[in-house]
Structure 1
Amino acid sequence: MSFIIQLIVIVVAFISHANEAIAQFIPPYTSIVVPVSKHIDVAKPLYSAKILTVYEDYTQYVRLNFLIDIDAPFIWHECTLQWNTYRGSCPANTLCNYPISCEEYQCEDLRTTYSYDNPSCPPVNKGPTLPGWGYCTCPVKVVNPVTGSCGQALLSYDHEYTVSTSNGRNVLSGLYGAYPNAACAPSSSFESFPTNVTGIMALSTSPYALPTYLNGPLKSIMALCLPSTLSAPGVLFYGNSSYYLLPQSDIDIRSFLSYTSLIKHPNSFGYFIGVNAIVIKKRSIDLFGNTTTKLSTIDPYTTLRTDIYNQVVRRFSSVTKRILPAKPVAPFGLCFDTSTKASIKVPDIDLVVEDGKKWSISTANSIKQMTEDVACLAFVDGGATSEPAIVIGTYQFEDNFLVFDLEKSTFGFSSSLLRKKTSCANFNFTMAS
């Protein structure tokens, strides 16, 4: 009897010690890291994340490029549904996923609550059965962010998406896998996309977006730094990390950040902040209260409701009288003659958020060189009824370090990193020794 008691004590002690070790486990990484590429071979500049996935035979990784969309409700990409994938029936060099039945809760959940909010899209019904499977598939509506056109994809249990781990300074040798539900769309859905980009990576607040599937040892903090160049990638982090960019390898980028609250907006899974005023050379453009402002990785330029746009253009024209005007180039309404100079410098445009903090938009993010002789103010008239009143686009994001803290519901912004002698293309993607 005493032997049994001793054995029980030993087993209990072992389990207790094992649980304590698990509780004390600290991973060698603080975040995951993904390279971000800029694309200009389509109608508007777009940005993609390169993520590893696998062919059906699980013998090799394949890198897929996904458009970054911080508003999309779920992930979708080019793939084929195949219910008997584990029998080796997937065609060679094809990404096959296992279908979700129309009877499963994810199907109804995604269709009714976490779908694209576009009333122009036709309703979707039960999908066809796959040969030999016997269940209806789950079509979901998708909206092409390049063309705005509606389409359909089929919801699936997705394969592993694999990304590199990081200490915020380098890439580490370890990998991190996530297993989100996603939707399979035919290759025709991506004909308008940048070359070799065949998917949408949803980074919104939706429970079917990627951040939901990255929790665990990682904190719910996403950092995004869009590159202004095609020659080197920008960077996307997820996790509670310090962030370092060359050549200032000992300066944590977080020391450059100011923070404001993220605002929830009905019928959207995207990210919004409040802007109280726009200041140009010490003169404030009153926005009549806390103006809801959307952050977008799809809109190429900041869009302002007409009444705000007219005030900004009027004030900006006033403080740039020394620069010769030029005939406007669509989609812009205010342009300058740069034929006598290689570049121009203009006053900052400050977005004033809560507590008087300012997101300063410098020349690099406010002036777009359209031709050798013409540069334009990179803000667009969104119309008299534009809702939300302000949408901050990607040109204003470039070389700005942005942090979305989903736990504290705050948004961090650095203003231009160029003034700090670095850029978004300066993360060291060399693997740490």
Structure 2
Amino acid sequence: MLLMGNVKEPTPLVSINVVVDLGGQYLWVDCDRNYVSLSYTPARCNSAQCSLASSGACGTCNGPARPGCNNNTCSLFPENTVTRTATGGEVAQDVVSLQATNGKNPGPVVSIPRFLFTCGSTFLLEGLASGVQGMAGLGRGRIGLPSQFAAAFSFNRKFAVCLTSTTSANGVIFFGNSPYVMLPNIDISTSLIYTPLLINPVSTAGVFSQGEKSVEYFIGVKSIKVNEKSISLNTSLLSISSVTV
């Protein structure tokens, strides 16, 4: 399994702080400002990379060639899901490195040499935490982080998020199967409660194609309570046409 701390990208490796987006479609990074990499490779039109990213858009860029601006490349629409702002961005590959773990102890830093992501623009960072350079999408899409990590390291498409209770400490995200051991040597995976996930047949992205399903995670809700008192509402509004997965 992988333990996600700072994403390290590009070559030479540098740490990039990103906002973790639970239902985000994929990783997008600001390529307009200070993105320099020897291993950056744009995804050419009609390539296997574009097909995997479900990108049929093909275009050119007016300006000197650089990360995020190349001719004959496919594109997606990276979105700031906090401000609900989206723009066109080049699909590309680069090296991504993360801290590995066996679920109990830290392991070596491991790398994916051709990790698919999308170049965003600097203005997309508005409204996000200071110092971040993009957003890491954990959604169920084919180039979301869980899918790419599972394919690269041959584990199940699973992840577990442990949020910190204070701003002075880091949270943690485990990718892959349990155990998920936290200090002081507590395996939190033994006490998890599970519920079926549902598929929303209508995309919730800012930009999407007709018939595209949402990559976000949905659960079935039958009622809402506050202080053990049921909220009066039309319960049909809680349902969704879906199938369990």
TM value normalised by structure 1: 0.45
- What pairs with 1:42-61 in structure 2 (closer than 5 Å)? 50-55=6-11, 60-61=12-13
The residue type equivalent to 1:62 in the other structure is V
Q: Is 1:176 paired with 2:110?
A: yes
CA distance in structure 2 between the aligned counterparts of 1:213 and 1:227, rounded to whole angstroms: 25
Q: State the match for 1:110 in structure 2.
A: 54
Residue 291, structure 1, aligned to residue 241, structure 2: no
CA–CA distance in 2 between the matches of 1:77 and 1:93? 9
Equivalent position amino acid for 1:195 in 2: S
Q: Structure 1 residue 218: deviation in Å?
A: 2.1
Residues 1:94 and 2:41 are matched in the alignment: no
**Conserved 8 A contact 1:34-1:164:** yes
Q: 1:257 aligns to what? A: 192
Q: How far does the alpha carbon of each residue in 1:131-184 deviate from its partner, in whole angstroms, 9 at most, with x for none? A: 68994233332222232223221111x212111111222312x22222321112
Q: Does 1:146 align with 2:82?
A: yes
Checking the alignment, whether the CA contact within 8 Å between 2:178 and 2:189 is kept in structure 1 is no
Task: Select 2:219's aligned residue among 249, 273, 280.
Answer: 273
Is the contact made by 1:276 and 1:290 (CA closer than 8 Å) also made in structure 2?
A: no
* Residue in 2 that maps onto 1:229: 166
CA gap 1:286/1:196 in 2 versus in 1, 3 angstroms: same
Count of matched residue positions in the alignment of Structure 1 and Structure 2 = 222
Question: Could you tell me how far apart the structure 1 residues matched to 2:18 and 2:111 are?
Answer: 16
SS at match of 1:214: helix
The question of whether the paired residues in 1 share the 8 Å contact of 2:31 and 2:120 is answered with yes
**Compared CA separation, residues 54 and 99, structure 1 to 2 (3 A):** closer
**Structure 1 residue 34 corresponds to structure 2 residue 4:** yes
Q: Percent identity between the aligned chains?
A: 27
Amino acid at match of 2:182: L
User: Once the two structures are superposed, what CA deviation does each residue of 1:387-413 show, in whole Å capped at 9, x if it has no partner?
Assistant: xxxxxxxxxxxxxxxxxxxxx94xxxx
Gaps of 5+ in 1: 1-30, 36-49, 81-91, 113-123, 294-407, 410-433
Deviations 1:268-287 (A, max 9, x none): 10100011223345544466
Using the TM superposition, give the Cα deviation of residue 79 of structure 1 relative to its aligned residue in structure 2, in angstroms.
2.6
5+ residue gaps, structure 2, are: 204-213
Q: Structure 2 CA distance, aligned partners of 1:67 and 1:134? A: 26
Amino acid of the residue matched to residue 226 of structure 1? L
Match for residue 130 of structure 2 among 189, 195, 206: 195
Partner of 1:136: 72
* Contact residue 146 and residue 192 of structure 1 kept, 8 A: yes
Report the residue type matching 2:84 in the other structure: G
Q: Which amino acid aligns with 1:163?
A: L
Cross-structure match for 1:5: none
Instruction: Kindly provide the amino acid, as one letter, of the partner of residue 231 in structure 1.
Output: S
Give the residue type in structure 2 aligned to 1:201. A
1:242 to 2:179 alignment? yes
Label 1:281 to 1:231 Cα distance change in 2 as closer, same or farther (>3 A).
closer
Instruction: Compute the RMSD of aligned alpha carbons.
Output: 3.2
Question: Which amino acid in structure 2 is aligned with residue 51 of structure 1?
Answer: V
> Greater helix share, 1 or 2?
1
TM-score (norm 2): 0.76
Offset of residue 289 of structure 1: 6.1
Higher relative CO (Cα under 8 Å, sequence separation at least 6) belongs to 2
Alpha-carbon distance in 2 for matches of 1:217, 1:107: 22
